[in-house]
Structure 1
């Protein structure tokens, strides 16, 4: 998809820059040379941009990972931060309370139908 967008943009740019007569279906010699130079230039620029991007991309990803780790520390590190440890303790107690089986009281059992 990205390749097609780049190709379409390059085609449009070179066409508007180089093609200026519509008297024939074929390109004139000057138009042909202009389109050739324009497309070659755009392809070279695109290759250069991609090579720089491939060098820089791992650094950008690493920086984002480090930022996310600062915002969301791993559990072992989180326990050493008092505020996070307190929140984790409260959260665990809530989870434990929700997962404990509920005891049925005697009053509830008397509401069951009686067989006569």
Structure 2
């Protein structure tokens, strides 16, 4: 990145931030869709039943913890690969 001009660095940073936001929004949308499909069984009421609400809370918690664990494992693998010098492109 040292060979890029200030304007190019800002543009690259801007693109990376937009990509990260898009990925986050996709992940969030998928989480909402999965938990809705798993937990909401009908539309008899305009609000969630206590059973549906607790299901949604468990679903979100479970998926967030899974995502966090996956991210941690990914970082560990990257660190191990960097330490052993086996990163792709090297």
Could you state the TM-score of these two structures normalised by the residue count of structure 2?
0.65
Higher Cα radius of gyration: 1
Query: What is the rounded CA distance, in whole Å, between the counterparts of 1:30 and 1:55 in structure 2?
Result: 37
What is the correspondence of 1:46-85 to structure 2 with a 5 Å cutoff?
A: 46-60=67-81, 62-64=85-87, 68=90
Query: What is the rounded CA distance, in whole Å, between the counterparts of 1:41 and 1:51 in structure 2?
Result: 15
Q: Which residue of 2 aligns with 1:83?
A: none
SS in 2 for 1:63: coil
5+ residue gaps in structure 2?
1-21
Could you state the TM-score of these two structures normalised by the residue count of structure 1?
0.51
Q: Whose relative contact order is higher, 1 or 2, with alpha carbons under 8 Å and at least 6 apart? A: 2
Runs of 4+ in 1 over 6 A off after TM superposition: none
Q: Which residue of 1 aligns with 2:34?
A: 13
5+ residue gaps in structure 1?
69-116
